Structure 1
Amino acid sequence: MTAASGVWSAPGRVNLIGEHTDYNDGFVLPFAIPMRTTVAARPADGPQWTVRSRETGETIVIGESDLAPGAVTGWAAYVAGIPWALRDAGHRPPFLDLSIASDVPLGAGLSSSAALTCAVLAALVDLGGLDLPRDEWPALAQRAENTYVGAPTGIMDQSASTLCRPGHAMFLDCRSGDREHVPFALAEHDLAMLVVDSRAPHSHADGEYAARRASCESAAATLGVAALRDLAEADLPAACAKLDEVTARRVRHVVTENGRVLATVEKLRGGSVTGIGPLLTASHASMRDDYEITVPEVDTAVETALAAGAYGARMTGGGFGGCVLALVDADAVERVADTVTAAFAERAFNQPTWFKAVAAGGAARDE
């Protein structure tokens, strides 16, 4: 694109702990990563949004008649959903030409979709001079994904992509919206967060994710609570006795995962970073055994990283593929990554990729 009026970007995220708790009104602890989706934008010549993707090579034109859920499909739906949601909220988003590029890996559980929607939102709000406080961005972006795209995500991904701060993880109460930026500068402790992309398939919009969410909502109704967040671990024996075996396991994961998030935050507040390791590992076991959302690739990555000396490791993201994070000594990143790669080769899995995750900032105007 020539003569862009500006460039905006929004990051992907890693969820340190708190998986499938967000849509249960629970607690999460994500941090933004340096990988970002970038949108260069300028005013359009007519009443439309023309979107060009560097990654796919496509150019898609979105007209006003397309601002209805389901009218645009594929990756462009995440773009069209933003002007739809803005109009639905009473705003007048500007018509723009948009050029999109991203280095957030697709299908890896790093929230490439939220990075796209939030980068587009930043451009539209800025160029349109819209009165939309930053605190309201996550809910609007979530509505675009939930209603326009049809992806039943919670609010964590959009919150992380818009509100995270460098050097911090964001402790988010998904019911109240309250958040605390918890120090997470690993280099100061001679530690690093290795993220391994298993390159196994991953999709938030698939039937398994939706089934887990529906199961939780059904369980909450059966148990007479507004959301599973309202259950304490002491309530589990009585609660599980009222549910079938599978649903009871789902509930147990959510309730114990909320407890692990709170314990992790306490460890980080007290400066005990390596102390979060066992909580990460316990989270993975819960996702594997109770929520049943892991696959052999991510289980292998976790087991191998732990055997290679990681303080803790877990799958991150919605599940059924995606990434594993491992808390390791700063000088052990490549060694642990190479060990995991070798284990994948032995099992004839796809060769994984990896990177060192550093806590970054949220959506911003770059130029």
Structure 2
Amino acid sequence: MIFLKGNRIINIKMKPIFTAMAAFSTKVSLNEVVIASAVRTPMGSFRGSLSSLSASELGAVAVNAAIERAGIPKEEIKERGETSYGGMQLVDGIVFDGLTDVYNKFHMGNCAENTAKKLQITRQDQDEYAVNSYKRSAAAYEAKAFVDELVPVPVPQKRGAPVIFAEDEEYKRVNFEKFTKLSTVFQKENGTVTAGNASTLNDGAAALVLMTADAAKRLNVKPIARIVGFADGECDPIDFPIAPAVAIPKLLEKTGVRKEDVALWEINEAFSVVAVANQKLLGLDPSKINVHGGAVSLGHPIGMSGARIVVHLCHALKKGEKGVASICNGGGGASSVMIEKM
């Protein structure tokens, strides 16, 4: 994440966008924070088109594009570095930690199964949601809904010119005929979570430039969105899939915005049951949730997820509309942020 406070660019290396915004706004609590640019690379599948690139290389592509699109003069940049990124370029230990509930010492998929059982969300419910996620992503590409947020990645080849990677590849790898026949992964008997209705491991990077409204005016930068508010929530670690249902009401209360007045919701699809459960608990309109697909169909690079959903909201919303991005994390926490398109 890249922040501009006064005349100084501040780079913060962190996992979710939300934590950084909290830290930043504490320092400038009297100033409105706006988003000057929001970009991401296309996401590559596991051992796919981006597997030869390191996380820092992918991060650099996103950072450079974010700064360029923000229109920040080079001389204004005092610090610069990698932003939110992820994927299988991470060391094994980080991947393990990113997918493991350290409190219960098992894979987070077991937490998803627990949530499904508690809320009586069936395998069919999750499969139907996942299939819809894939179809929404395909339709979004047909409608060119991702064009403004994507930054092509040049992938070096052993011989010849680099190959330009310009489109997510995960959503095209689905086989709907086999979808309902996939084995459950975490519970063999009466299990509901499969490789099809859960997110996948991917490579990718995302970056946003945030600054005060005063800084944007001084530098003649036209923001694309403003931060309306943010809130965190927490629950028992095993219930982490439903933590957004704790954070989102806090956000709505803090901002004074009714859920009916939120145009779009981006709730990270670590598992299909996450989106289904939070929709059910909060009574959200399903036609407003992850309208262009989510992590199940597009991909879920570890460390990029929070930034990606905010990036997409910045481009998917219409002028004057408000959107909410919410993501749960291992340990029972969740963060939510509301933005308004400018």
Compute the TM-score of the two structures, normalised by the length of structure 2: 0.30
* Larger Rg, first or second structure (1 or 2): 1
Structure having the larger proportion of residues in helix? 1
Q: Which has the higher relative contact order, 1 or 2, with Cα contacts under 8 A spaced 6 or more apart?
A: 2
